[in-house]
A and B are shown apart, each in its own frame.
Chain A
Amino acid sequence: MDEAIFEIPLWSELLAVGVGALMGALFASRFKDHHLDLLGIAIIGVCTGLGGGVLRDLVLSVPVATFQSNWYLIVAVAASLLGMLLERVFSKLNTLFTVVDALNLGLFAAIGATKGIAFGVPAVPAALLGLLTAVGGSILRDVLMLTPVELLKVGPFYATAAIFGTTTLVTMTTLGLPILPAAITCVVVTFIARMVGFTFGLRLPEQRRLERLPHPSRLRPAKDSDTPPV
């Protein structure tokens, strides 16, 4: 490893996992027609909280970090049950949770990208790895619940915000800046992008195709009667 890993203290990693798990359980609890039992909620919460990190470590082919300590699972399960029980309270704190979730997104993205860099992954894949860590949990959650993967649909910036963040991070490290400021910038950029996008409903354009492709006949010498291709 040629760069120091962005070592974050255990408590903040657990906080990120806990918030992720709580958000996942809240999301799952809202689906009244699914009738999930306690275990189902716990599973969803655990997957949302830990999923990103597990996917990141599997892709890097390293031992899964979240399995090296009891705390991750304990926190994830507890946060899921808490989220389920207190759904009424939390649903009124919607804005607060969007804010916290945006911070979480940036945090996970930074952890993922910097771990990738520390393991020698080049800049572009490292940014992608950061993205995977940030949103992997939500993809897993949607797959397990058989709901359409929210990430892929048109909607306010989520993954895009994470992309902004990780891209900034790898650009900064490629330019030789130390890892810690780059990581902090990633968190900040992701947060701002997410909150701005959420507040103003910014989103990526919907998929589109070219309506009029150049027709071979138009490549012949122009005549007066030809209309220019659009």
Chain B
Amino acid sequence: MSAALFVIPLWADLLAVGIGALQGAMFAAQFKDRRLDLLGVAIIGISTGFGGGLLRDILLSVDLAPLRSNWYVIVATGAALLGMLLERIFSRLNPLITALDALTIGLFGAIGTTKALALGVPPAPAVFVGVLAAVGGSILRDLLLNLPIALMHVGSLYAVAAVGGAGTLVVLVQFGVDISIAAVVGVALTFGIRVLAVFFKWSLPEQRRIERLPRIPRLGRAR
């Protein structure tokens, strides 16, 4: 391993999983036309909670970390059911939830990217894996709920925040910065971009194409 793994304590990892699962359940609860049963809520919670981590480990061809301890499933399911029951209270805490979610993306992104780097993956794919770990849960959630994938449609810079954080992380590591510091910077950047984007309502340009191609003057003819 070329870089020491950014090992975060289990409680912090589970906290991220829990918030992710809570978020997922709340997201699902807002749809009046697709009501889930309890198992459905649990499944959505699991997919948003550690779906990203599962995807990351599959792509890196390593043992699936979330399946190596009882706690992940317990926390994800518990948080999801909690989110479902207490939806009314939590939806009033929306800013707090958004901020915590931004922190979660940052943490998952940092964990994913550093794990990839530690396994010898080059910088660009490491960013890809990190971003996928950060947002994979939400992609899975949208697929399970049969919704258009929120990430890909015009909206607040969700994945971009993850890309920014993960990208900064690998750049810093390339310059020899200590992995822990790089990870913290990455998390902070992701958190910052995401929170500011929600606050200032930033978004990426919609897809565009070049409408008018530059005209090339015809040779041999005076213009």
Query: Contact residues of A with B, CB < 8 Å?
Result: 29, 34-41, 43-44, 46, 54, 58, 61-64, 66-74, 84-89, 143-144, 146
Contact = CB atoms under 8 A, between A and B. Distances in A.
Contact of B123 (A38, A70, A89): A70
A64 B125 CA distance: 10
Contacts of B149: 40, 144, 146
B143 interface: yes
A44 B121 CA distance: 22
A61 B61 contact: yes
A35 B154 CA distance: 6
Interface of B: 58-61, 116, 121-125, 127-129, 139, 143, 146-149, 151-155, 159-160, 163, 203-211, 213
Contacts of B59: 54, 58, 64, 67
A102 B210 CA distance: 27
Contacts of A36: 152-154, 206-207
A114 B121 CA distance: 24
Given A43-B152, A67-B129, A38 B124 contact: no
A63 B209 contact: no
Contact of B128 (A35, A71, A73, A143): A73
A41 B146 contact: no
Contact of B125 (A41, A43, A70, A86): A70
A23 B184 CA distance: 38
Nearest to B143: A143
Given A37-B203, A88-B211, A70 B148 contact: no
A39 B151 contact: yes
A28 to B, nearest CB: 8
A61 B205 CA distance: 38
Contacts of A86: 209-210
A86 B210 CA distance: 6
Nearest to A46: B128
Nearest to B212: A88
A38 B209 contact: no
Nearest to A57: B61
Given A61-B61, A144-B152, A67 B121 contact: yes
Contacts of B122: 67-70
A43 B152 CA distance: 8
A88 B205 contact: no
Contacts of A43: 151-152, 159
Contacts of B143: 143
Given A64-B59, A88-B213, A146-B146, A37 B124 contact: no
A119 B180 CA distance: 39
